[in-house]
Amino acid sequence: MQRYKKICTYARKIYFFTVSFSLSTFYAFNLHFVQFDLLLPVFFRTFAPKMDHNHMKHFGKYIIFALLVLHTTSMQADNQHFDWSASATITSNYIWRGLNCGGLSLQADAQVSYYGFFANMWWNVGASDWAFSQFNPEVDVTIGFSRWGLSVYYIHMYYFDHYTDGTPTKFFDPKNYAPGGGGTTGEWRVSYRISDRIPLSILVGCRTFGRDGYEVAVQGENGEVTTELKRAYSSYIELGYDIDLHQNWQLNLRVGMTPAKSLYTGYQGNFAICHLGANLNKTWQLDKLNMTAFAHVMLNPWKVNKDNLILPIAQAGDQKLNLAVGCSVSL
């Protein structure tokens, strides 16, 4: 009960601080009708009681940091080399690269760029599944360079979970890559998109930091067999093609594969196609805002069968066929 009171007290502080900054930021851009701050009480009422106190403090810092960045960028809007963007999304499921990563989720991101260099912060708050059995937050921080359709960047992903001994995970923990051990993950990515006229793209990513390993059996000199951890360097390759339809409708097609044993196949097997995806979306322009509604269908063909195509809610993380619908608002 005491922890619940502390969390709710801290949540209220974050909320009022966030409201003040969000209102000042959006009013600076004459977006008087945008009330993103109204989503925050819903989040805190629903999920705050399920968060660890330390995780709540970290999450609040990230929200405040992102709002400070947006507030600062309003003063740089006249600089032609400086650019910024922000978005907020609500989705029925958090699906990614053939994996079901969560249920109902609120997602947001903020990005600033200067002469092609950019920094981005993306965060997800939501439930692990539609049974709302567990809270499933995540924060990703990205830095990189993008020019002429080519992007090279590093993304640091932090999961607000716990180690096997029950203690909260650290934001920076390169040595912990035990499977299921909690912690952080870092990935290098390179992507290239040919042009708007030829909207074909390719993305290559490789995890080089943090949680991403599996156990292997090792035979000693005396014949004894032990296990040791081996870093997987999980890699992912994705081909994409975007089709512009009439009246701001767009269809995004994706095919993803992993060239070797990786997290996308549960650290089993070798080469596998693990992601077939189609995202149909429509965008409306509202003054300085863009509003997008989407429907995303995703199939993981790796070891798919009739028994794992669609599973009960409590086992949704292992489901092969997934659907997400939602909407987003972007600046």
Shared domain check, 308 and 164: yes
Q: Give me the pLDDT at residue 135, please.
A: 77
Are residues 113 and 73 both part of a single domain?
no
**Is residue 169 over pLDDT 80?**
no
Domain of residue 292 covers: 79-330
Q: Are residues 19 and 83 in the same domain?
A: no
The number of distinct structural domains making up the chain is 2
> Is pLDDT at 267 greater than 60 in this prediction?
yes
Check whether 275 has a pLDDT greater than 50.
Answer: yes
Same domain, 23 and 157: no
Query: Do 68 and 89 sit in the same domain of this protein?
Result: no
Q: Residue 302 pLDDT more than 70?
A: yes
Are 19 and 125 in a shared domain?
Answer: no
Q: Of the residues 33, 63, 78, which one is the last residue of a structural domain?
A: 78
Are 94 and 64 within one domain?
Answer: no
Work out the mean pLDDT of the chain and round it to a whole number: 79
Question: Does pLDDT of 179 surpass 70?
Answer: no
Same domain, 48 and 157: no
User: What's the confidence (pLDDT) of residue 110?
Assistant: 92
pLDDT for position 327: 97
pLDDT at 191 over 50: yes
21-55 confidence digits (pLDDT tens): 444 444 444 443 344 444 445 444 544 555 555 55
> What percentage of the chain reaches a pLDDT higher than 70?
73
- Which DSSP string do the residues of 134-198 spell out, in sequence order? SB--EEEEEEEEEETTEEEEEEEEEE--B-TTSPBPPS--TT---TT---EEEEEEEEEE--SSS
pLDDT at position 2: 54
- Same domain membership, residue 139 and residue 22: no
- Beta-carbon contacts of 123 under 8 Å, excluding residues fewer than 6 positions away, are 59, 62, 63, 66, 107, 108, 109, 137, 138, 139, 140
Q: Tokens 């322009």 appear where?
A: 285
* Final residue of a structural domain among 78, 111, 143: 78
Give exposure, 220-236, as e/b (b: 16+ Cβ within 10 Å). eeeeeeeeeeeebebbb
The answer on pLDDT for 74 being more than 80 is no
Q: 102-111 pLDDT, tens per residue?
A: 899 999 999 9
Average pLDDT over residues 8-19: 44
Last residue of a domain, one of 78, 105, 120: 78
Element (H, E) at 68: helix 53-73
Mean pLDDT within 138-162: 92
pLDDT single digits (tens) 76-121: 555 667 888 999 999 999 999 999 988 999 999 999 999 999 999 9
Q: Does residue 244 carry a pLDDT above 60? A: yes
CATH number, domain with residue 166:
2.40.160.40
> What pLDDT was estimated at residue 306?
84
Residue 192 token pair: 């290239």
179 and 198, same structural domain? yes
Number of CB atoms found within 10 A of residue 296's CB: 21
Q: Is residue 102 domain-shared with residue 244, that is, in the same domain?
A: yes
pLDDT at 137: 86
Q: Quick one: average pLDDT of 136-147?
A: 92
178: exposed, middle or buried (Cβ count in 10 Å: 0-12, 13-18, 19+): middle
Residues 129 and 115 in one domain: yes
d(CA 110, CA 131): 30
